[in-house]
Structures are given as structure tokens and as C-alpha cells.
Structure 1
Amino acid sequence: MVNPAEVPTASVSDLPSEGLVLLDVREPDEWSAGHAPEALHIPLGELPSRAAELAELPDDRPVYVVCRTGGRSARAAAWLNAAGVVDAVNVAGGMKSWQTEGRALVSDDERTPPEVL
């Protein structure tokens, strides 16, 4: 298994503004409360069974993997790279950094403002 410390990592400020492929591996309640508008949601525990969905993503650019603060996404990126599913890059600081950097957030319930749980 790949050591999560050896996973390619990028900060939110380094993420491309165009053509960003973002995979959110947080749990459903975290996703519902607030997520990036274009993100794909596959909870960490479901990655192995849903890897085929990732194979449909564009393969000409990396898939940036995000969770709340970067721990789960590092494990997910390590697994994805080791399995050869996609070229995965961990997003350092996760959705907490995403929010701090002022990136767009949406929630599943339009009546409540999005937040990062």
C-alpha cells in the first residue's frame, strides 16, 4: 500500500480554475451540508465498489481528491493511484481550506447556507 505521506498533494490555491476534476470522499451528511458545485461525490468507503464511475472521468488531467481536512482524501488518493484507477492528487486542508480560500460552496438544501461540517 502507498504511504499517504507520499501521495501527490496540492493546496486549494494551486488548483486549476478551469477543468478542475474534484472528487469529494466525505460522508453523505458532510456532502449535503456543503460541497464544491462541480464535485463528484463518492464516500471513501464506497470507492472500491464505485471505481468504474471514476474510469469515466477525463484521463487527460488529474483527479483532485478532497475530504474535510485532508486525511481521508490522502488515503483515497493513495488507493486510487496504487490501483491505477486515476491520476489522483490529494487536496491539502480539504474542504476547510476550500472554504477559507473563498471557493464556491453549495448545499443540497437551498434553504440553508452551505457549510463545511
Structure 2
Amino acid sequence: MFETNVPVVAVGSVPDDSYVLDVRESDEWSAGHAPQAVHIPLGELAQRAGEVPQDRQVYVVCRVGGRSAQAVRALNEAGWQAANVAGGMQAWALARRPMVSEGGAEPQVI
């Protein structure tokens, strides 16, 4: 179930030069991600939150929105300005937003 009471933004509203935090697992990240995204799996976020800037809006993404909603809630409760990207990387791909993969294969959402 998706978390309630978290800010949500449409995938088309995410600026090209924004800070995108991808909280998916490594295999999902490797298969395809936003070019400007930073990868911190949800399970590592508590230990690595200091790597996330607090002086700008953070757009959080996962595959469809559940894990990213958890991350947004935790970040906002700790003082960040974070928003969940509606529909996650599935919506990102459907909107034909830029994607890259690790290793040069055609990017995909798994």
C-alpha cells in the first residue's frame, strides 16, 4: 500500500536538472534509470541520508511509487524537502523521459 500524506508530483513535472533519488535495488537501477538520478537503495537510506542535499527539492523514485513514498515520508520527517514521483520509473518510461542503463544495454524498467 502506498504511503499517505506525502507530496506527489507528476513525472512530467520533474525538472531535467533536478535532484532525483532512486531508491530501487541495484538490479533495477542497472537495468534503467534517469540520467541525473542518484542511487541509494531504500534499505540503505537511513545510513546514507547525509548524501542527499537538504538545500534543494528532492524527487524520489522507485518502480511504481511504494518504496519512494516510504523514503519521502522519512526524509520529510527528518527535515528534507522531498516529493514522490507518481508512477515511479514505470511512468517515467511511459512518458518517454530520458533513461540510461549500466553496461550499455537498452534501458528498461524491471
TM-score (norm 1): 0.88
Aligned partner letter, 1:116:
V
Q: Among the aligned pairs, what percent are the same residue?
A: 55
Question: Unaligned 5+ residue runs, structure 1?
Answer: none
CA distance in 2, matches of 1:32, 1:104: 15
Aligned residues between the structures: 109
Aligned counterpart for 1:96 among listed residues 77, 87, 90: 90
RMSD: 1.3
**Match in the other structure for 1:105:** 99
Are positions 1:10 and 2:3 aligned together? no
CA distance in 2, matches of 1:51, 1:67: 16
Aligned partner letter, 2:70:
R
**Match in the other structure for 1:25:** 23
Are positions 1:73 and 2:68 aligned together? yes
Aligned partner letter, 2:11:
V
Give yes or no for contact 2:33–2:100 (8 Å, CA) kept in 1: yes
* Shift, 1:16, TM fit: 1.9
**Match in the other structure for 1:48:** 46
- Residue 4 of structure 1: SS of its match in structure 2? coil
Give yes or no for contact 2:54–2:81 (8 Å, CA) kept in 1: no
TM-score (norm 2): 0.94
